Amino acid sequence: MNEFIKIELEFNEKLERKGQQFFFQYVWKKSFSKLKKTIFLGLLFLGIGFLPLEEFDTSPIPYIFKYIGFLYVGFFLLLIIQYFKSKKKTYRLIEEQIDDFIQKDREPNSISLDKNNITIENPFNTIRSIWDKTSYQFVDEYLILNILNDRLCFIFTEAEFKENDYQVLKDFIQQYSQKKVEQ
């Protein structure tokens, strides 16, 4: 591999919107297993609380199960509301970010690669990370690049790159960074 490579990316409004929306859904998909568990436990506790057993009805135990069940169902509803509010806010922020990119002077985004670090530049900021603090994973057709110990994520698709630049980026990150294991 060469000592230093700079890859330029042209801004594409549709690809940016699609990638950001994918990442929002990807992050929330991890939370949906918690939602399933919460609703299951809520219904289980409510079911136990409303069991029509003779000796069971005279003790305080069914009320405890009903109370816990209602708490789980309330928590489930709270998470659903939070999802829809977050989705609305995130999609609005995506549109604002795209508008900002469109209004900017159309400076190209770029990725600089060398054996020590990766630098991602766009018209608004420049972020550099050493390879030890960089990881990656492939999800569907997306490459998710996590830098600065997973504090920042960048989403790339092959359609954003010219010619074989995507393959060069893949080769570099596979050689110098770690593959992120799905949790």
pLDDT tens, position by position, 140-180: 889 998 888 778 888 888 888 888 888 888 988 888 888 87
Q: Select the more confidently predicted residue: 85 or 161.
A: 85
pLDDT tens, position by position, 90-122: 999 999 988 888 777 666 788 899 888 889 888
At 85 the pLDDT is 96
At 183 the pLDDT is 55
At 33 the pLDDT is 80
Q: What is the number of other CB atoms lying within 10 angstroms of the CB of residue 1?
A: 12
Alpha-carbon distance of 2 to 5, in angstroms, equals 7
At 52 the pLDDT is 75
Q: Which amino acid is at 86?
A: S
